[in-house]
Each structure stands twice: as C-alpha cells, then as structure tokens.
Amino acid sequence: MHERFEKFIPHHSHTKGQLSYVEGGLAYLQINDRHYVIPARHYFWVPQGLTHILKIGHSGTVLRSLFFYTHDDDKHPFYSEVGIYPINELLMEMIKYSETWDGHILPGESRYLFLSVIKNILPEISAKRLPIALPFTENERMQPILEWIQNNISATHTLRSLGSQFGLSERTLSRLFQSTLNTSFLQYLKLLRMVKAIELMLQTDLSMSEIGYSVGYGSLPAFSNTFYQLTNFRPSDFKKNF
C-alpha cells in the first residue's frame, strides 16, 4: 500500500507483520501505553496481532507499507518487537521499486520472492533503533496535567511549579508520573521535548536555536546535548539527513 494523505486509523491489528516506511512528513503510532513519532526517512515494524493506532500527520506524508507472512517469524526476535529505524539506501531503493505494486502478491510470483528478500534482511539492517517512545496514559487525573505541559512546552517546568498549578504536592505528583507512565517527571519532559523538536524540524524552517527555545531549552548546547543523548544525532545532522 502506498498512501499520500492525512489519515487516522483507530485501534486495529493485522494477521500479518507490518513494515511501513515514512518517506516524507511524520507518522504517529500508538501501541499500548506508548506513543511513537516516526520521522521522514524512517521505517517501523509492527508484529502480527498487535493492536495499534496509526496517524499520518500531514497531507504531504508518504507512507509505504508491506504486510508479510508470519510463518517464519520465530527465526529472529526482530519480528516480535515494535521498532523504529532510520532507513538505509538498500532498503529505501527496494521499497521504492515496489511502489507500483498494490494488493496481494502471491507465492510463485517473482514479486513475492523480491519482497521475501526484504523481510529476510530486516534483522541484519535494523540495528540502530530510534529510542523515542513517549509514555501515554488514559488516567483521568493525569490527562489535564500532560495536556497543560504540552501546551506550554517552552515554559520552565518543575515538580513544584506543576504541583502548584494543579494543587498537588511534589511527592504526590512524582508518584503519579511513576505509577501511570512508569517513568519520572523529568524523563517524560525530556522525551516530550524531543518529540516536539522533531516535529518542528520536519514541519518548519526554524533554526536549531529557535527550535531549542520553542521546546524549553535556554541554550543551543543544552538542547543539542539532550537530543544527541536520545537519538545519537546532533539536531542539525538529524534535520539534514531526514
């Protein structure tokens, strides 16, 4: 399937494994209690039977998806795990080669053999996983807190300031983050800021300093160091490559 438009697909699952390449724009994936942002020039794998929500975030986004047989998934752990990876030239050209194909490809067709090769090489070429997964919760007490942080991402946030905003003690708020998101307040804030930074990189012409300031960092080095810590890319390199 090769798609180019905004799209929202609510909770669903497949009897096949899903490989999707985001050629341009942004896509968003929600699985259980995690939100994933998939930037351009990245691909993701969703195992068979795993319920997920998929959102194509912009009309300029191109999403190319291949759905694979699962009878040999037990030959490598890759096929049983959700993952997001930067694409290399080999896989990108192979996926683009199939862009005129649509619908079912059956055993015995030469195209079937070609696509089988793609599946077989995935574990070997998918060593560098993008480690940005934003925790998610439907806890009614936490949702307004998380929404407020997102809407005020450029502000300076601490447990004390956030607690004052919502009438909670620092200790209570810290426990809420840990119990509902399974992460600390500071780690959640860091991940959220990196997700927002990636969105701004791919959807605006803001400079790196402006992006860093927009997501709450007072200096470019502080923003750059945090971004590198989570992605192994400097922000400028990430924008240039993807």
pLDDT band at 41 (very low <50, low <70, confident <90, very high): confident
Q: Could you give the CA distance from residue 65 to residue 21 in angstroms, rounded to a whole number?
A: 6
pLDDT tens for 229-238 read 988 889 998 8
Mean pLDDT of the chain: 91
* Amino acid letter, 1: M
User: Can you give the pTM of this predicted structure?
Assistant: 0.80
Q: What is the token pair recorded at 226? A: 């945090």
* Amino acid letter, 24: G
How high is the pLDDT of residue 14?
A: 95
Between residues 149 and 7, which one has the greater pLDDT?
149
Strand intervals (E) in 25-87:
26-31, 34-39, 42-46, 52-56, 62-68, 83-86
pLDDT at 59 over 70: no
How high is the pLDDT of residue 61?
A: 77
State the burial class of residue 165 (Cβ atoms within 10 Å of its Cβ: 0-12, 13-18, 19+).
middle
Domains and CATH numbers, the chain: 2-125 (2.60.120.810), 138-241 (1.10.10.60)
pLDDT at 58 over 70: no
3-state helix, strand, coil in the chain (%, to 5): 45, 20, 35
How high is the pLDDT of residue 27?
A: 86
Phi then psi dihedrals of residue 147, to 5 deg = -65, -40
- Taking residues 41-62, what's their average pLDDT? 87
pLDDT band at 23 (very low <50, low <70, confident <90, very high): confident
- Taking residues 95-114, what's their average pLDDT? 93
How high is the pLDDT of residue 242?
A: 63
How high is the pLDDT of residue 189?
A: 95
Report which DSSP code applies to 74. G
Between residues 131 and 225, which one has the greater pLDDT?
225
Phi then psi dihedrals of residue 121, to 5 deg = -90, -10
